[in-house]
Amino acid sequence: MAAFPRGGSRAGNREHTRPGARGQFFPVLVAPPPRAHYYARTMQVLYLIRHAETGFNRVGRVQGHTESTLSRLGHTQARRTGERLGYVDFVAAYASPSRRTLQTARIALGDRVDVNAREGLREINLGAWEGLKASTLRKRYPRQVHLWFHKPSAVRIAGAETVAQFRRRVVREMKGIRETHPKGEIAVVTHGGVICVYLTALLGMKLDDLWQFKIRNASVTRVLFPQGRARVDLLGDIHHLNGAFREIPNRPFRLFP
């Protein structure tokens, strides 16, 4: 869904500048309120925001419950996410208690809304895999890594949650959040795995469809609930980053898309 003002044109875009190569300046468009904003008084709207890039993301280490902090690029991503969402009058904001999500929430949302940390919004606990690099995982656990991308529901990792346990936890937490705020716009700053697994539940998909979504760092996924039924109108959107993201084409293994 295009992020246009009520009239449907780009005339309402606010234009900023930032330096480019050799000191030139070029415009950065900050999107005006999406149409979902005008419906928020009569329905529930979820903004599912993945945390910005971390040091672990940068070098390809598995995070899960392991703590990591935002990289320099991650700080930029979080600021731009905040600029994009600056128009939204959130009725509530929630976040995983992990350091990377709380950092993202503080930078993006500032002090305009209180952020409530919820254990149920943590990333999946990946046990023995946490802290390892992708190359190490492929060597140590080749069969499990293959299953992870083809049938994640069958994977058993020492000391970890199963994907089924993970989904039950996330769905239970999100149900409580939604029941607390039946109307209005709600920010949820969380993890790639949380967003993916919650979408499979919302959309009636199989657990093994977990990897059908591409949820990048600092992306925004927006879900509207007209008449209580879920409608995804933004999925993993990063247009607000204006190029401030990292593509690593030579890295074949990424734990979360």
Instruction: Say if CB 100 and CB 54 are below 8 A apart.
Output: yes
d(CA 49, CA 241): 13
Q: What is the largest CA-CA distance in the chain?
A: 56
Q: Which of these, 254, 256, 132, lies nearest to 197 by C-alpha position?
A: 256
Length reported for the chain:
257
Q: What pLDDT score does 243 carry?
A: 76
Q: What pLDDT score does 242 carry?
A: 86
Q: What pLDDT score does 35 carry?
A: 55
Q: What pLDDT score does 41 carry?
A: 72
Pick the CATH number of 34-241 from 3.30.420.40, 3.40.50.620, 3.40.50.2300, 3.40.50.1240: 3.40.50.1240
Q: Domain locations in the chain?
A: 34-241
Q: What pLDDT score does 38 carry?
A: 62
Q: What pLDDT score does 40 carry?
A: 64
What does the DSSP 8-state code read for residue 55?
Answer: H
Count other Cβ atoms within 10 Å, centred on residue 185.
Answer: 25
d(CA 57, CA 137): 15
Q: What pLDDT score does 37 carry?
A: 59
Instruction: Say if CB 237 and CB 221 are below 8 A apart.
Output: yes
Q: What pLDDT score does 124 carry?
A: 98
* pLDDT in single tens digits along all 257 residues of the chain: 333 233 333 333 444 444 444 444 344 444 555 555 566 678 999 999 999 999 999 999 999 999 999 999 999 999 999 999 999 999 999 999 999 999 999 999 999 999 999 999 999 999 999 999 988 999 999 999 999 999 999 999 999 999 999 999 999 999 999 999 999 999 999 999 999 999 999 999 999 999 999 999 999 999 999 988 999 999 999 999 987 776 544 343 455 43
Instruction: Quickly tell me which residue has 């023995």 as its tokens.
Output: 128
Q: What pLDDT score does 8 carry?
A: 33
Long-range CB contacts for residues 33-39, cutoff 8 Å, separation at least 24: 33/3, 33/5, 33/87, 33/88, 34/1, 34/3, 34/4, 34/222, 34/233, 34/234, 35/1, 35/4, 35/6, 36/1, 36/185, 36/222, 36/224, 36/233, 37/87, 37/88, 37/185, 38/6, 39/224, 39/226
